Amino acid sequence: MSQKRVIVIGAGASGMTAAVFAARQGADVTLIEHGKRAGKKILSTGNGRCNFSNRYMDASCYRSEVPDFPMKVISRFPLEMTLDFFRDMGAVFRERDGYLYPYSGQASAVLDILCSEMEREKVKLITECETEHIADRNGSLCEYRVETSRGVFLGDSLIIATGGKAAPATGSDGSGYRLAKQMGHHIIKPLPALVQLRCRERFFSRLAGIRTEASVTLYSCGQILARDQGEVQLTDYGISGIPVFQVSRFAARELDRGNAVEAILDFYPVAGFDETEKMLHSRKMLCSNRTAENFLTGWLHKKLTSVLLREANIRPDVPVKELRDTDIHRLTALIKEFSTEVTAVNSFDQAQTCSGGVDVREIDPETMQSRKKRGLYFAGEIMDVDGICGGYNLQWAWSTGAIAGTHAAL
């Protein structure tokens, strides 16, 4: 049998993995990248340290219109196989609370070993190459004809691994959706995910710079959309930090439907409402020599206290011993249920990933092959699957890349 020709479009985490796996099956692999170099986004992952996966992995770590699709795929190329893949290329890991990083702490190490493996497997990487048109079933000559700014490439199978629209400066400008549509696929509207939330209230300009432990609960139409807890950052336009990133995709989708979204921040999530109120009453005795502006000093951030007092209609110069039960109750409600209206999410420029993408009902989870076109495969973020923070998006890229690459070459 003649050697199978596999074309991969997009040299990110998923496309490079797909290229390596296809080449290891003996295929002749061409990897087309429109940027100057491969894997630019990998360099910015995990703040330059590349949190490439996580020991803890279940369905709750991924979102999709088809909730069981992501784990069906990942179970075919799970963490252990991912670690073997990297070990075989010489990688050594370090782990913190289940979060996995390269031992050197350098994202560039992950990119370097992938590039050198592609070289070893004789993957033909064509950079600065724009895909202009894809045609399938070109007579009996080949299945796919990819017309690009650097010539025409013919392949027996084609893998689209162009990423989504998040962080377009790294190359993922959404052009892959056009290619998928050309092949008859339906795209679920891509929206920014793992991103900051913009809020309406003007007091945020006075809260900017605060980092505090808090829980964030999103509500819309009287329903809880999502909740998370951790270090929240208050900014001049709204809220940020890991817990905000984790819930952001729900805000984006709800706002896109035209629904109002409210975020409730709990600045003391370690205790319930009544316990917090009791604490404030005891504090009133303990700090009776202070004025209100210092009532929470030693507990909450000073800038936060000043906004809480203003929202509770308590003057900062009131002696603590004169605070009434109703003042304490209002203050408790603000500490435990600080409400803010989410008006928007930040743009794709700031987002770490995308929710939405190619509808996964049109993709076979066992092979990543299109259910619409034989010989067409998808890998990575271009699909309607987004992971939470913690290495899950890269794991999605490795798993889908390995599966698509292997099957495209069979």
Ligand X SMILES: Cc1cc2nc3c(=O)[nH]c(=O)nc-3n(C[C@H](O)[C@H](O)[C@H](O)COP(=O)(O)OP(=O)(O)OC[C@H]3O[C@@H](n4cnc5c(N)ncnc54)[C@H](O)[C@@H]3O)c2cc1C
> Of 50 and 314, which CB lies nearer to ligand X in the complex structure?
50
- Please give the backbone phi and psi of residue 356, each rounded to the nearest 5 degrees, phi first: 90, 180
DSSP letters spanning 249-302: HHHHHHHHTT--EEEEEES-TTS-HHHHHHHHHHHHHHTTTSBGGGTTTTTS-H
Closest approach of Cβ 246 to ligand X, in Å?
A: 13
Q: Does 175 bind ligand X (CB under 6 A)?
A: yes
> Of 375 and 380, which CB lies nearer to ligand X in the complex structure?
380
Q: Does 163 bind ligand X (CB under 6 A)?
A: yes
Closest approach of Cβ 340 to ligand X, in Å?
A: 25
CB 41 within 8 Å of CB 171:
yes
Residue window 124-143: x/- pattern of binding to ligand X, with contact defined by CB under 6 A? -------x------------
Which member of 4, 10, 240, 375 binds ligand X (CB under 6 A)? 10
Stretch of residues binding ligand X (CB under 6 A), selected from 40-48, 55-63, 110-118, 296-304: 40-48
Number of residues that bind ligand X (CB under 6 A): 37
CB 309 within 8 Å of CB 292:
yes
Residue window 350-369: x/- pattern of binding to ligand X, with contact defined by CB under 6 A? --xx----------------
Q: Does 252 bind ligand X (CB under 6 A)?
A: no
Closest approach of Cβ 235 to ligand X, in Å?
A: 17
- CA-to-CA separations, 225 to 124, 149, 221, 249, 253, in angstroms, rounded: 45, 45, 9, 10, 10
For the sheet with 53-54, list strands across it. Answer: 53-54, 99-102, 93-96
Q: Does 51 bind ligand X (CB under 6 A)?
A: yes
CB 398 within 8 Å of CB 14:
yes
| Residues from 368 through 387 that contact ligand X (CB under 6 A) | 380-381
Q: Does 30 bind ligand X (CB under 6 A)?
A: no
Which member of 20, 29, 111, 161 binds ligand X (CB under 6 A)? 161
Pairing of strands 157-160, 5-9: parallel
User: What letter would DSSP give residue 383?
Assistant: B
> Of 82 and 332, which CB lies nearer to ligand X in the complex structure?
82
**Whose structure tokens read 């392949």?**
155
Q: Does 391 bind ligand X (CB under 6 A)?
A: yes
Which member of 25, 44, 182, 229 binds ligand X (CB under 6 A)? 44
> Of 22 and 314, which CB lies nearer to ligand X in the complex structure?
22
Cα 312 to its chain centre, rounded Å, is: 36
Exposure string for 72-108, b = 16+ CB within 10 A, e = fewer = ebbebbebeebbebbeeeebeeeeeeebbbbeeeebe
Stretch of residues binding ligand X (CB under 6 A), selected from 43-51, 213-221, 323-331, 339-347: 43-51
Q: Does 34 bind ligand X (CB under 6 A)?
A: yes
Q: Locate 302 and state its tokens.
A: 């000073």
Q: Does 32 bind ligand X (CB under 6 A)?
A: yes
Q: Locate 65 and state its tokens.
A: 């219109």
Cβ-Cβ contacts under 8 Å for 276 (sequence gap 6 or more)? 268, 332, 335, 336
Stretch of residues binding ligand X (CB under 6 A), selected from 139-147, 228-236, 357-365, 393-401: 393-401
**Which residues contribute to the site for ligand X (CB under 6 A)?**
9-15, 32-35, 40-41, 44-46, 50-51, 131, 161-163, 166-167, 171-172, 175-176, 352-353, 380-381, 391-394, 397
